[in-house]
C-alpha cells in the first residue's frame, strides 16, 4: 500500500481523475482519496514510481509518497 500527498485536488471530479489515472496503471488497484487532507491511499502491486507518474500525468502534484 502507498500513501501519497497530492496537491490540487478539490472536488469529486478530482477524486475520479486521480482514481482513473491510478487504475489505468493497475486496473485492480484500490484507491481512497481524502480531500481535506489531500492524501491518496493506493493498494496496488504496481511500482510506486508508476503510480506517482500516473497522478502527475493526470495534472496533480505529488508532494510526498511513502510505502506502507
CATH number at residue 37: 3.30.70.100
Written as nine digits, the cell of 48 is 510506486
Domain that holds residue 17: 2-67
Report, as ranges of residue numbers, the positions in the chain whose pLDDT lies below 70: none
> What is residue 68's predicted lDDT score, i.e. its pLDDT?
84
> What is residue 53's predicted lDDT score, i.e. its pLDDT?
97
**pTM for the model:** 0.93
Structurally, the chain folds into a number of domains equal to: 1
Of 61, 27, 57, nearest to 42 (Cα)?
A: 27
Amino acid at each position: 500500500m502507498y500513501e501519497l500527498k497530492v496537491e490540487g485536488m478539490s472536488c469529486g471530479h478530482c477524486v475520479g481523475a486521480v482514481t482513473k489515472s491510478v487504475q489505468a496503471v493497475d486496473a485492480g488497484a484500490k484507491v481512497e482519496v481524502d480531500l481535506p487532507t489531500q492524501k491518496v491511499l493506493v493498494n496496488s502491486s504496481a511500482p510506486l514510481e508508476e503510480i506517482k507518474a500516473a497522478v502527475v500525468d493526470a495534472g496533480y502534484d505529488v508532494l510526498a509518497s511513502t510505502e506502507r
